[in-house]
Amino acid sequence: MSRPRAGSEPLSLRTCALWAWLSLGAAVYLTLLPFEFGSMSLERAWEIYRGMSLTGPGTSGRQQFMANALMFLPLGFFWTAWLTHGRRNRLLAIGAFVFVAALGLAVTAGVEFLQVWLPYRHPAAADIAGNFSGAVAGSLAWLALRDPLARWRRVLEGAGAQALTAGLVIYAAAYVMVGFVPFDLVLAMDELRARLASDAWGWWVAAGACTSGIRCISWLTLEVVASIPVGLLLALWLHRRGASLLGAGIPLALLLAGLLELLNLATLSGIAEGRSVLLRALGMGIGLVLFRNLPVHPHGVIRTLQQFATPILVIGAVFYALLLVALNHGFGPFHADVEAARTQWAGLNLWPFYYHYHVDEIHALRSTALHLAMYAPLGFLVWLWQLRRPLQPSALNLLAVVAGVVLALLVEAAKLFVDGARPDPASLVLAGLAAWAMAALLQWLGRASAVGGAPAGRAAAEPRGPHPEPAGPGPSSRGFQRLRQALAGLLALATLLLAVTWPVVPVALSAGLLAYAALLAWRPQGWLFVIPVLLATLDLTLYHGRLFVSELDLFLLMTLAMALWLGPHALHSGASLLPRGIRWALGLLVASTLISLAVALFPPGTWNPGEAVHFAHQWNALRVAKGLLWAVVLLAMLRVAPVPVPEQVTRWFLPGVALALLAQLAFVVRERVTYPGLLNFDSGYRLSGLFSEMQAGGPSIETFLVLAFPLALIWCWRQRLGLMLAGSALLAVGTAYAVAMTYSRGGYLGLAVAVVVLAVGVLLAALHGRMQARQGALVGVLLPVVAIALVAGTTLGGFAEQRMSHIERDFGIRMDHWQAALELPGGGPLSPLFGRGVGSFPEHYRTGNRDGRLPGNLAFTRAEGEPRLQIGGGDSLFVNQRVSLPRDGLYTLTVEAASAQPTGFRVFICEKPIRHSFVCRSEGMRLEDGGRQTFQWSFDLDPMETRPWPIQRGLVLSLGVDARQRSVTEFYSVQVRDSAGREYVANGDFEHLGRYWYFTTDHLWPWRVENQWLEIYFDQGWLGLLAFVWLTLAALVLLLRRSLAGDAVALASTAALTGALSIGVFSTLFYSPRIALLFYLVLLLGVAASAAPAAKGVRQSAKPRAG
């Protein structure tokens, strides 16, 4: 197999791989807009798909056919480039071509099938043919143009007249090709005669063309400006032949302009006008004149711009701002109606290019071109701003993109206050792209016109950093790299597809994932900061109803995708992240978890998502197991960043945990102010925080606080003295208050243990002289101790005192529950060794508890094709949906329900965070046996009060039945409407099964054993328990040794883990996968940072810098 010499490829391998996946993602995105998937059975969808039209596109559909081909052309081009990069072999080229053709066919067939579920979309053979043709054409284009493109690239990377001439030639070719877009060419004489007989051309203006208005003038001006570089190329051609620039150039410009305009008649959508001939010729004429008056060397233009950059920037910015206002807002009429703007915003679709989807291809393309031209000048202004003190190319490109997005955001947001205007989210994408393209073009122009042989700024563009870069992959590793990046691309694409179809905030979630991916591409260790913050703050389960996959999982999937894409860094080659003993313990625990996961999932039940709406379900095994498994995956990601492990932990993980704790404390204060009152210590209201699993109780909030507090405190100790004291006091007071308001005696114990371990560790290390700045360290630990004592003395009265007085009684009840859990039937002969399955306790309790309770007795079904919600008795249960009802107004609730036996149910509208209800309105309804019955209830929200947004109480609609009843109540429809007919209940007909609905309960014993060690034994048997005890003890011994040696991170990890395990004596910590993830991250990262060779430098982490 022959290999090309260095530099013979037109694009780098990384660029080919990146654009291959971007082109695939763009094709899927554009073909599946608007992502409003309906509900239809697979059999019916397949029937529609098989019956799709098999006719060709015809004349009327040629635009769409060519648009589809153009959409898939980059896919074929870049995938072939990626697969054949670095190798020149005919057999490989043929194989790559066949694979790309098959990929294009598979993608288009798949998206056409998915379009069955989309509104206004339908599968068509013509679309499949167009997409497939584009992929094939793109693949062939790469194979044919690979060598010419490589030669052109070498020319463009040079400097001088040759590079500038090549740039003009490429521009002229693009100028001509754009005129044919969307390439709906006339293919028959009859079509040509029809074109000539139509009103698609005019001696001056074609019928229906614009003749006035700022947009029309701007479009015509664009025709002139776009023709100027063509005039420069024409002048260069005439100059080299010694011809007169104006004498020969002007007739040639008119001839060329006329010919290009006539060629528009060769397309079915083109328009030919006499004025366009003159405007094109005018632009070319300006190019001819400019060529005569430009400096001898083009770099002189840049020096002139540097000299007058400030006045040009100021004047240009003013005129540009006025032009943007004129083009987008038409100078009004403006209004200041905030409510009207809010209403328009609520009805706005935020998917980029959604509104392009509702117009024909020509108008969509022209709108796209106008927006690109509208924001391209911003790239020039950004480039001009940095001209005197040039930025790095990457920094300039990023600045241009950000400036474009921000400016477009302001422009589009202002349309909310303009009569008749509508914001278009696509403008943000196009603005960033246009500004980046212009800035990049001007950078190239600066390099190409530089005096001397080397391109200007090339040396400055070389990456510099404190750590060595990984060596480029050798020929033998390129195949593995492609495979790894292919897996990364598939994973990233699948993650984004999940995000765009997410039931709530799909646009924000998708944008956040893309921004997160960009962060990891820039700083691979960024996940250590972001994931703890997301773990503490991002949980929308109560809004979309999905229990077993969360938004955090999407970010973790993107983390894994970026790790696969980047690959391990050479800095970590040959080094082990964990000591051998802990590696073996961790491996055993992972093996036990996987075995127990298989036990829980086998045999697999029938696919029925409508039943997976509570924790007593087989799928709960995946929810519980993923905390540990994700932690192991993230541990491996430490190898990706070009930073030593201790530095990753101290500079990224610690501040991430500190910010996560601060965010959680802020929400706790907001929750207390909003509901019972900040200083109301007698209400008995127990905090939930931002943990949705508190719908069934649990220790999530207090365990998070105890895990995060020591790490956040250590981060504060590493800051300047003033910030250290203020931060330590703030975190100590906030954490003590939050833990006190959980009224969890296990939380009290856990925080006390964590603080004692932290204080004793600091004192011992300081006494042995192994922690510098003894006084600062002592103040740093004594201040939180005093603050916690003061808060405890203030808050541990009233309801908390009552809870403490019942310790002995409640401990006896808990021991009875432990005994009952171990006696539950259902275990097999291997259960003592391997357990009954991860997360299986709720399911076993549901079917075998000695009280005969039936917790979680609900399901969403589609019996006989009609969806419904079924709620039965057996235990405390409420089915809820969060609703946004204005407090002033009259509402009508309509419920359609049925039951086989006479029974009743109750509907609640309550101010409710998760479980605890405050002010409520409710109505009981009685069902007779037999058919369906419809109930209506008119109500208002008095005495619920309207509050400012930050402290406005949330409203929850709840359905409940009597726990003692044995019959099942079926709900077919639930609606809440105001007097204007507006609907406030989402998925009220249950067409999407459990989407937007979730359950809560007041009976908490069915969901956890309430002892972490017993829970692990129940789930994973003696093997899992042995592995867990081995792992935790080995880690704590290592961390304790490092703590006594002055390692502050090890000390914080020790305190956090011992505090959390203290809570685990009376609660099940890993019931929450987020808590499990944080626990294992603290353990594994603490050990990795302490065991790493560079850990000695971290010993000073407790030393506060002088203020």
Domains of the chain: 1-157 (no CATH), 179-294 (no CATH), 299-454 (no CATH), 858-1002 (2.60.120.260)
Residues 6+ apart with CB under 8 A from 192: 186, 265, 266
Identity of the amino acid at 486 = A
Buried b (16+ CB within 10 A) or exposed e, 410-427: ebbebbbbbeebebbbbb
Q: How far apart are CA 1084 and CA 1078, in angstroms?
A: 10
Nearest Cα residue to 1088 out of 709, 571, 576, 655: 576
Q: How far apart are CA 1034 and CA 1083, in angstroms?
A: 10
What is the spatial order of strands in the sheet that 858-861 belongs to?
A: 858-861, 868-872, 968-978, 891-899, 933-939
Q: What is the per-residue DSSP string for 979-1011? A: TT--B--TTTT-TTTTTT-EEE-S--GGG--S-
Query: Token pair of 1033, please?
Result: 């003890």
**The total number of residues written for the chain in this structure:** 1107
The pLDDT assigned to 1099 comes to 39
Q: How far apart are CA 843 and CA 616, in angstroms?
A: 4
Q: Are 502 and 509 in contact (CB under 8 A)?
A: yes
The pLDDT assigned to 746 comes to 94
Nearest Cα residue to 614 out of 821, 837, 859, 844: 859
First to last CA, the chain: 64
Q: Are 382 and 435 in contact (CB under 8 A)?
A: yes
**SS3 assignment, position 366:** helix
Half-sphere CA count of 100, side-chain side, radius 13 A:
34
**SS3 assignment, position 911:** strand
Nearest Cα residue to 67 out of 130, 133, 132, 142: 130
The pLDDT assigned to 60 comes to 62
Ramachandran area for residue 7 (φ above 0: left; ψ -120 to 50: alpha; else beta): left
E-strand stretches of 873-1010: 878-883, 891-899, 903-911, 920-927, 933-939, 955-961, 968-978, 998-1000
Nearest Cα residue to 761 out of 1049, 1083, 1032, 1084: 1049
Mean pLDDT in consecutive groups of 10 residues from the start of the chain, 1107 residues: 61 90 93 82 83 70 84 95 89 93 95 87 88 96 94 87 89 90 82 84 85 85 92 91 88 93 86 91 93 72 79 91 87 82 87 84 83 93 88 90 95 91 92 95 84 42 41 57 88 94 93 95 96 97 95 98 93 88 97 97 84 93 97 96 95 97 97 93 89 94 97 91 88 93 94 93 77 58 80 77 83 94 91 96 94 92 87 94 93 95 93 94 88 93 89 96 89 95 94 94 95 97 98 97 91 97 96 97 96 48 39
The pLDDT assigned to 437 comes to 95
What letter would DSSP give residue 571? Answer: G
Residues 6+ apart with CB under 8 A from 95: none
Q: Are 613 and 999 in contact (CB under 8 A)?
A: yes
> Residue 413: phi, psi to the nearest 5?
-65, -35
Q: What is the per-residue DSSP string for 583-617? A: HHHHHHHHHHHHHHHHHHHSS-----GGG-SSSSS
The pLDDT assigned to 748 comes to 94
How large is the C-alpha radius of gyration of the chain? 34
